[in-house]
Amino acid sequence: MSKIAIKAENLSKAYQLGEFSTGTLSRDIQRRIALMRGKEDPYLKIGETNDRTSKGASDIVWSLKDINFEINQGDAVGVIGRNGAGKSTLLKVLSRVTTPSTGSIKIKGRVASLLEVGTGFHPELTGRENIFLNGAILGMRKHEIKKHFDAIVDFAGVERYIDTPVKRYSSGMYVRLAFAVAAHLESEILIVDEVLAVGDAEFQKKCLGKMGDVNKGEGRTVLFVSHSMQSIAALTTKTLLLSNGSIAFEGNTQTGIKKYYEYKGQQSLVYTNQPSSDAPVITKVTVNTSEANNLHLQGKPLKIDFEINTPYPIGEAIFSFLILNSSQVKVAHVLVRDDEMSLCRETGVHKFSCSFPQLRLYPDNYSLIINFSDHRSGKKFEVLEGICPFEVQVHELRKYYWYPNAATYVEDHVWQLES
């Protein structure tokens, strides 16, 4: 029987907009005494959920509202949701950085967390001193920290600067060392926010590998916040989908990712965006499926139309897209360069398309990732993730040779019998 590592009951966190004062000194003193005793704020108003798309009437915003969940020891859990959903607030409550307004949180084991660049580090101390400081905060003895010291420095790649005050580190170096400390020191629970986006691609891959080792090899509990569904799919088996401070879905990762795209309002096969006077943007993407309701029959032609608006000419534009399945595995990659097709050499609207004479993907749910950049400068103009979701179904006449989960696509082929 699995043991519970984290349990949240009716967990809520409210923030007051504007001034904190209640209006009278006596009420301010009563509020402060209540908070010091760990009791509920007697003057906490009933406010609104954290919906940043509309202007509220209350000065109280519930970043989290009546959250209930259980996480077992050894689970790898992805916390997903759009900006403002309450993901970072939840991790701060779990990490004891902030206290909940109502409800309770029970945690069994020591927690190592990486929430923001610089969290837990003293800028005036050296990298070496901060490693020992973080270990002491976790309750570790000096000889225990020494046992992991070399591995931490090697993983972070900051050996040359280990005796330099961390205030002189770049944001990338800061994150490398902070992650290495959180992942290597002896804690039962590892909590990582999307701060890893600061590091380069190679280090992000290295971090994901380490978190996988921590979870599967060492049996530690991992909570991971990311907007990259590829990373969530690769690392976690369970997801918590937050929406406006509440849990919209709790369950397996594959279903959670599908729900995430639904909550992002990306059900349509047509993506649209407004032109910009400052930078090139993708203004329209249309997936032309063979059937209605986002359905496409295997083996039928598929055409994808694109539209780009450029306020100035681009010398060496590169445009590419990937097709991802429901497990966020890349099953196709298509790229076109400016020297193959004059994309954006002139100012204005540019329309082009990509066609598949026979789309032979197996039945599953798919979505697109689109990249638009300038090869000469290396600048990325746009990255659109998880847009235009569609479902591939097998044709009635081809069902007899389809085996679920056998592969990602079927190639046309000919059988020949030789006597």
How does pLDDT run across 23-60, given as a tens digit for each residue?
566 766 777 777 677 666 665 554 444 554 444 445 57
Could you give the CA distance from residue 343 to residue 232 in angstroms, rounded to a whole number? 33
The residue among 221, 244, 263 that closes a domain is 263
In a domain, 45, yes or no: no
Examine the domain organization and report whether 323 and 259 are in the same domain. no
Spatial CA neighbour of 303 closest among 245, 374, 354: 354
- In the block, which residue shows the tokens 């401070």? 245
- In the block, which residue shows the tokens 């005796």? 163
Examine the domain organization and report whether 330 and 205 are in the same domain. no
Examine the domain organization and report whether 345 and 235 are in the same domain. no
pLDDT (0 to 100) of residue 48? 46
In a domain, 158, yes or no: yes
Spatial CA neighbour of 357 closest among 294, 292, 288, 299: 299
In a domain, 414, yes or no: no
What would the two tokens of residue 107 be?
A: 């945690």
Examine the domain organization and report whether 238 and 293 are in the same domain. no
Spatial CA neighbour of 367 closest among 283, 300, 304, 274: 304
Indicate the number of domains in the chain: 2
Could you give the CA distance from residue 243 to residue 237 in angstroms, rounded to a whole number? 20
Examine the domain organization and report whether 313 and 176 are in the same domain. no
Examine the domain organization and report whether 115 and 254 are in the same domain. yes
Containing domain of residue 230, as a range? 4-9+66-263
Examine the domain organization and report whether 176 and 235 are in the same domain. yes
pLDDT (0 to 100) of residue 24? 64
What would the two tokens of residue 382 be?
A: 């746009």
pLDDT (0 to 100) of residue 69? 93
pLDDT < 50: residue spans in the chain: 18-19, 46-49, 52-57
Q: What is the CATH number of the domain that holds 106?
A: 3.40.50.300
In a domain, 37, yes or no: no
Render pLDDT for 113-159 as a digit per residue (tens, 0 to 9).
877 666 678 889 999 998 998 888 877 788 888 998 999 899 888 88
pLDDT (0 to 100) of residue 47? 47
Could you give the CA distance from residue 281 to residue 273 in angstroms, rounded to a whole number? 8
In a domain, 29, yes or no: no
**Number of residues assigned to the chain:** 419
In a domain, 52, yes or no: no
In a domain, 55, yes or no: no
The residue among 215, 247, 263 that closes a domain is 263
Half-sphere exposure of 394 (CA within 13 A, CB side): 15
The residue among 217, 239, 263 that closes a domain is 263
Examine the domain organization and report whether 233 and 339 are in the same domain. no
Spatial CA neighbour of 367 closest among 409, 411, 319, 328: 328
Examine the domain organization and report whether 173 and 275 are in the same domain. no
Examine the domain organization and report whether 288 and 358 are in the same domain. yes
In a domain, 53, yes or no: no
Q: What is the CATH number of the domain that holds 326?
A: 2.70.50.60
Residue 144 DSSP symbol:
H
Task: Please say whether the beta carbons of 388 and 322 come within 8 A.
Answer: no
pLDDT (0 to 100) of residue 106? 92
Examine the domain organization and report whether 276 and 259 are in the same domain. no
Task: Please say whether the beta carbons of 115 and 157 come within 8 A.
Answer: no
Reported as type and span, the H/E element at residue 189 is: strand 189-192
Examine the domain organization and report whether 335 and 386 are in the same domain. yes
